[in-house]
Copies of this chain bind each other. A is one copy, B any other.
Amino acid sequence: MTHRIAVIPGDGIGNEVMPEGLRVLEAAAKRFDIDLELTHFDFACCDYYEKHGKMMPDDWFEQLKDFDAIFYGAVGWPERVPDHVSLWGSLLQFRRQFDQYINLRPCKLLPGIKSPLADRKPGDIDFYVVRENTEGEYSSVGGKMFEGTEREVVIQETVMTRYGTDRVLKFAFELAQSRPRKKLTSATKSNGIAITMPWWDERVVAMSDHYPEVSVDKFHIDILTANFVMHPDWFDVVVASNLFGDILSDLGPACTGTIGVAPSANINPEGTFPSLFEPVHGSAPDIAGKGIANPIGQIWSGAMMLEHLGHADAAKAIVDAFEAVLTEADQAVLTPDIRGLGNTATLGRAIAARL
């Protein structure tokens, strides 16, 4: 069986980490005898916008919809295109039109990567953030009144549906059930955001009835962010709305020191549409073109993609390979962000070689 992968490097360092992501992916495919067919696309980036006045061609949906997965680099370059234009014209379209309603991000301490937290070591922190990825606070409903005057009022609506909420909760409960600790934490703010969030809490309680083995707790988002810093070992699976999940899935990797190397999966669990895999880091215009970006985020995202495509063994081999390279800590190989003297290519090659 051939897996058809759409490859979109995007902006900035996306173009630099993607070749290493592909190098490792191909090494894994070879070793595990997986048949990958890669097709490259040059849209969904600011270069394309500057040429065509839009982020993607009109038929992007048709062009991409039959792929098994999208392997994405990074998008955005605020000095060239405002972020809300570039993002709503690409990544956020994929998430919505391909109904990638799960955003999944691991938060894990890695060997050889320094955490900003005191007294933590690999094994202490290992959890997932499951984020709702299509609705909620990221809505396009709202507008302005008395625009440009002293009386100006700006309104934006958060829209949550039972359909959209229950399915992300279900995914999170299933994930929690499959893990040894079987623990789910819900991010809420029902004491302040008094319409949507108390309702979110109710849906969590309703869903928990179907998963008696899973222990459930909840925290308001303010103290939850505090607990990520103070007690990251408390968490196993954390489920959150679109905005809260966005925050927690940057903060989690920040606590493990892995924000530059964390992966993310935008999943359509039913497989009706392609799922999308991308590193958490952005396009990093400040270091773009220097060849020093750390490619592990892209490589790890490739591992999540293989796992999604049914190759858990190959995914694990990739993670083992980069953990081994990190443990070895050969300065000549590592990128500068993790105190090495190497570059994007030396690190990518070392990981591929290890496979």
Residues of A in contact with B (beta carbons under 8 Å apart): 76, 82-84, 87-88, 92, 115-119, 137-138, 140, 142-144, 149-163, 189-196, 198-199, 221-223, 225-227, 229-230, 242-243, 246-247, 249-251, 253-255, 259
Known: A84-B191, A152-B161. 10 other contacts (CB 8 A): A87-B191, A115-B118, A142-B195, A154-B199, A155-B195, A158-B158, A192-B242, A222-B251, A223-B250, A225-B254
Copies of this protein chain in the complex: 2
Cα–Cα distance between A118 and B115 once the two chains are bound (Å): 8
Cα–Cα distance between A192 and B92 once the two chains are bound (Å): 8
Question: Are B160 and A153 touching (Cβ within 8 A)?
Answer: yes
A156 contact set on B, CB distance < 8 A: 157-158, 193-196
A247 contact set on B, CB distance < 8 A: 221-222, 225, 247
| A209 → chain B closest CB, angstroms | 16
The 6 lowest CB-CB distance pairs between A and B, nearest first, are: A226-B254, A83-B191, A222-B250, A152-B162, A156-B195, A118-B118
Question: Are A190 and B84 touching (Cβ within 8 A)?
Answer: yes
CB-contact partner of A140 in B150, B163, B195, B225, under 8 A: B195
Question: Are B155 and A151 touching (Cβ within 8 A)?
Answer: no
Cα–Cα distance between A92 and B189 once the two chains are bound (Å): 14
Complex: chain B residue closest to A140, CB-CB: B194
A87 contact set on B, CB distance < 8 A: 191-192
Cα–Cα distance between A157 and B84 once the two chains are bound (Å): 20
Question: Are A196 and B142 touching (Cβ within 8 A)?
Answer: yes
Question: Are B143 and A151 touching (Cβ within 8 A)?
Answer: no
Question: Are A161 and B157 touching (Cβ within 8 A)?
Answer: no
The 5 sampled A-B contact pairs (Cβ below 8 Å) are A115-B118, A117-B117, A221-B247, A222-B251, A226-B250
- Given A117-B117, A229-B251, A243-B192: A153 and B157 interface contact (C-beta under 8 Å): no
Cα–Cα distance between A255 and B254 once the two chains are bound (Å): 12
A154 contact set on B, CB distance < 8 A: 159-161, 195-196, 199
Complex: chain B residue closest to A226, CB-CB: B254
Question: Are A76 and B160 touching (Cβ within 8 A)?
Answer: no
| A95 → chain B closest CB, angstroms | 11
Cα–Cα distance between A87 and B198 once the two chains are bound (Å): 13
Cα–Cα distance between A119 and B144 once the two chains are bound (Å): 46
Question: Are B226 and A246 touching (Cβ within 8 A)?
Answer: no
| A152 → chain B closest CB, angstroms | 4
Cα–Cα distance between A227 and B154 once the two chains are bound (Å): 28
